[in-house]
A and B are shown apart, each in its own frame.
Chain A
Amino acid sequence: MTEQPVETIAIPADALERSIQSALERLEAVRKAEAEAAAKAAANKAAIARRVSIAALLLTMMLSFLGFVRAQSDSAEGGAKSVVQQSGTDASTEWALYQTKTAQRGGYIVAEDNLAREVLSLGLDDPRRRLARFHHHEYEASVRALDEDNRQVFHRIQALDARAYSAQKMVEHHDRRTKRYDMGIRTLTLALVLISLTLLVDRASLFYFGLLVAAIGASFGVSGYFLG
C-alpha cells in the first residue's frame, strides 16, 4: 500500500476551539434531552403504575364487596328454595292427612247408608231402631268433626301453597339478582386484567379501556341491587 500525501490545512486556533466548544455543547444538549426523556418516561411509567395500583385496589375492593353481596343474594335464594321445598313437603303431609280423614269419613258415610237401609225394614218399636238411631247420631257427629278437621287441613294447605308461591317468586328474584351480580363480577374481573396488562404493554389507552369496562361492570352490580 502506498501512503497518500496529507494535505495540511491551516485553521486558526480560536476557530478550532470554538468548534470543539460547540460540539461539546451539542453533545451536552443531546445528553440532557435524553436524560429528560428518560426521566419523563420514568415519571410516566410511575404515574401509570400508580393509576393501575389505585384502579386495581378499587376494583379488587369492588370485586370483594360484590362477591359478598352476591353470596348474600345466593344465600337468600337458597333460603327461599328451602322454604319452597319445605312448604311442598308440608303440603304433601297435610294432603296425606286430608286423605286419611276423607277415607275415615267415607267409612262413616257407608255405615250411615247401611243404617238407613236397615232401618227401612225395621218396625217402629224394634229395639234395633234405637240402636240404629244411636249410631246414626254418632256417625253424623264424627262426619261433622272430620269435615271440620279437613277444613282446617285444607286452609293450612292453602297457606302453604301461598307461602311456596311467594318463596318461589323470591327465588326467581334472587336468581335474577345473582345473575346480574355475576355479570358484574365477570366484567370487573376482565377490567382488572385489562388494567393490569397496561403495566406490561405500557399503553395508556388500554388503561382507559379497562376503566370503561370497569364502569360497565360496576353498573351491572349497582343495577343488580336495585333490580325489581
Chain B
Amino acid sequence: MVAIVIGVGVDVFFAVVNFYPVAPHPNPGPRRYVVMQMDEVQAAWFQTNILDDFNAETNSNLEILRVSDEEQLQAVAHDAAAGGKDVVLVALPETQLARAVASKLVRPFTDVVASDQVAADFSELGSAVLAPGNFSSTQYFLPRMTVVDVAAYRVSKVRDAVSHWSVLRPQIDAALAKINGRGLPAGYELGLTPAAWTSYDLFVMAYYWSHRSYGGQPARPRVAHRTGDEIDGQRDIVSAIYRLGANDTTIANTENRAAIDMFEWEALYRDEDAYPQEMYAEDPFDDEAVLEGLKSGELFFAPIDTIEAFRLHGGAHETAHALVDDPADLEFTSMPRGATLALDGKGHPQRQRPSFSFHEDWLWALPTSTRATAVGYQLVKFLWRPEIHTRECEALGMLPLHPKVVAERVSRFRLDWISHVFEAGLEQARYGERTPPALVDKGIGSVYAQLWIRIVDGKLPPVPETAIVDALRTPPRATPLAVRDKSDVDPAHAVDKPAPERAAPVTENEDWESNVVLERVTGAKK
C-alpha cells in the first residue's frame, strides 16, 4: 500500500513537472557582499555582468560594496562586518596584505578548502599567477589581478614633436650638455617606435612640448608622473630608479648609482621647467591627478595603469564613456627604456635598461567574519573561468593573466586600442618585477618619495652631482603607508566626485597645419 502511494506520488510529481519544467529556486539566502575598489561605472558593470550571472548560476545573493579609494578597503570590510553585513571577499593590493593578516581581518582560504583542492581548482593558472597569494607558506590569498603601468600619450602631439623637435635641438643639446658635457647621444634621432622610446626621447618630447604653444594657448609642461609620499608616487619614483638599473639589493642604499642617475634626470626636468607645477604641490600628484591631466588635455604623456587607460579611453563596455574628447588620439605603449644622462666615450648612454614597471598584485582575501566561506571561494573560481576573465579584462582593463586567455589574446581582444594596452602591459610585465615588499614594509618607497620632494621640489641643481649625492646621503625617516582604521565614508552612499561638465568635443585638431609656435626659447624660430 505504501509503495503504491509513493508510486502514485512520484507519478503525480512528474505529471506536474510536465507543466512546470523549471524547478523553483530555493531562497538564495541573505544578501552578502564583495568589497572592491572601483568607480561607480565599473561597479555597476561588475554587478550586472559578473555578480548577477554568478548569482543566477549558483543561486547566491552577492552584491558589490564599492570603495573609491584603496586605503578604505580594510576599513569598509571591517565596518560592514561589524554592522552585521556578511562580507564574503575583499580584493586587497599586496601592499595591504601584511596588515590585513596582522589585524586578523582575513584568514587563509586553506582554512576552509583543502590545499590540494585549491591547487587542483586553480591548476590552470600556473604557479606564477598563484604565487603572490602565498603567505606564510600557504595559499592564504587567491589571485585577483595584476596592475602594471603603461605610458599613455597623445598621438597628434607625438607626431607634431617628431615633425618639429629638431627646431629645438640646439636648446635641448645645451640643456643636456650642462650635465653630460655633450648633449644628446651620438646619432640621436627621436624614436619613431613608441615601444622603443628611451629616457632621451621622453625628455626631447617633454622639452619640445613645454615650449610649444597649441591652439593659441601658452606653452606649458605636458609630461608628468605621480609624486607625493603615498603609494602612487612611491611606486612611480622607485620604479624610475629600477628603470635605471637598481634592484632589490641596491635600492636599500639611497646613494646607489641608479638613484643618482634618476634624480639627475628629475632635477633636469625641474631645471628646464618640463614638469607641471602641480607635481610640486602639497597634495600628492596621484593617479587621479594624472588621469585628470590626460583627460583635460593638459598632459600629453604620463604613466597610468591599464585599468585607468580603459577608463580614460572609454568604450570598453556600453556605459564606459570616454573621459577624453578624442579617444582616437590616445595611444598606449610601454614605459620608455631607462638611459643615463652620463654618456660613454662614444657618446652613448653609459647604462641602459629595458622598459620597467612594478607589478601591483591584487588578491582576494577571505574575511574572518564571513559565514559563507564557500560562496567566496566559488566566486573566485567563477571569475577565473577563461570566458569570465576575458569579459572582465575586456571591460575593465585588467591585464589578462589566465594562461589560456593570454595565449588566445589576439583573437579574444580584437579592438586595436585594447590590444595596444594589453600588449604594452604584457611587455611591461615581462620586464617588470613584483613590487618589492621593502617598498612598504621597510618604507623604502616613502624614503625615495620624500627624497624626490627634497631634491626636485627643493630645486637642487642637476649639476654638480654632489648636491644630489649629499641629499641622498641623509635619507629621511620613512612614514608608514596610510591604511585607514575606520571608514570615513558610508559605503552605501559612497560616490565619486562628480565629473565636471565638459565642453562639446572638438571635431578636429586645429594644430595640424599651423606653423609651429614656440615660446620661451632663445633664438628659436617663431
Contacts and interface: CB of A to CB of B under 8 A. Distances in A.
A and B part of one assembly: yes
Contacts of A211: 3
Given A158-B317, A158-B318, A211-B3, A221 B14 contact: yes
Contacts, number: 92
B327 interface: yes
B16 to A, nearest CB: 9
A222 interface: yes
A147 B328 CA distance: 8
Contacts of A141: 507-508
Nearest to A120: B163
Interface string B302-321: 00000000000001011000
Contact of A66 (B3, B14, B53, B416): B14
Interface in A51-101: 54-55, 58-59, 61-62, 65-66, 68-69, 72-73, 76, 95, 98
A69 B414 contact: no
Given A144-B507, A162-B391, A218 B10 contact: yes
Chain A CB count within 10 A is highest, among B10, B163, B513, for B10
Chain B CB count within 10 A is highest, among A72, A98, A147, A151, for A151
A76 B17 CA distance: 14
Given A58-B4, A58-B7, A225-B23, A143 B18 contact: no
B18 to A, nearest CB: 5
A169 B21 contact: no
Nearest to A151: B315
27 contacts: A54-B4, A54-B7, A58-B4, A58-B10, A65-B14, A65-B17, A68-B14, A69-B14, A69-B17, A69-B18, A72-B18, A76-B21, A116-B159, A129-B513, A133-B513, A140-B507, A140-B508, A144-B507, A147-B328, A154-B415, A155-B317, A158-B318, A158-B394, A161-B391, A214-B7, A226-B23, A228-B59
B164 to A, nearest CB: 10
Contacts of B58: 228
Interface in B357-387: 387
Given A58-B7, A129-B513, 9 more contacts: A54-B7, A55-B7, A62-B14, A69-B17, A116-B512, A119-B513, A155-B318, A162-B391, A222-B13
A143 B53 CA distance: 36
Nearest to B59: A228
A166 interface: yes
Given A129-B513, A162-B391, A166-B53, A154 B10 contact: no
A53 B318 CA distance: 63
Chain B, interface SS category: helix
B282 interface: no
B253 interface: no
Interface in B381-433: 387, 391, 394-395, 414-416
A144 B13 contact: no
A137 interface: yes
B7 A144 contact: no
Interface in B1-59: 3-4, 6-8, 10-11, 13-15, 17-18, 21, 23, 49, 53, 57-59
A147 B315 CA distance: 10
Contact of A72 (B13, B21, B315, B317): B21
A10 to B, nearest CB: 66
Nearest to A68: B18
A68 B328 CA distance: 56
Given A73-B21, A116-B513, A226-B23, A65 B15 contact: yes
A98 to B, nearest CB: 8
Contacts of A140: 507-509
A170 to B, nearest CB: 10
Interface residues of A, number: 50
B30 to A, nearest CB: 19
B433 to A, nearest CB: 34
Contacts of A218: 10
Nearest to A215: B6
A146 B91 CA distance: 38
Given A65-B17, A116-B513, A162 B49 contact: yes
A141 B15 CA distance: 63
A65 B12 CA distance: 9
Interface string B97-136: 0000000000000000000000000000000000000000
Interface string B490-520: 0000000000000000011100110100000
A144 B414 contact: no
B215 to A, nearest CB: 15
Interface string A129-165: 1001100110011011001000100110011011001
Contacts of A166: 53
B57 A169 contact: yes
Return the 10 tightest CB-CB contacts between A and B, nearest first.
A65-B14, A58-B7, A140-B508, A155-B318, A72-B21, A119-B513, A61-B11, A218-B10, A151-B315, A68-B18
Contacts of A165: 387, 391
A168 B395 CA distance: 21
B395 to A, nearest CB: 8
Contacts of B59: 228
Given A154-B415, A162-B49, A65 B513 contact: no
Given A140-B509, A226-B23, A65 B57 contact: no
Nearest to A219: B10
B346 to A, nearest CB: 34
B381 to A, nearest CB: 14
Nearest to A58: B7
A65 B11 contact: yes
A133 B509 CA distance: 11
A125 to B, nearest CB: 13
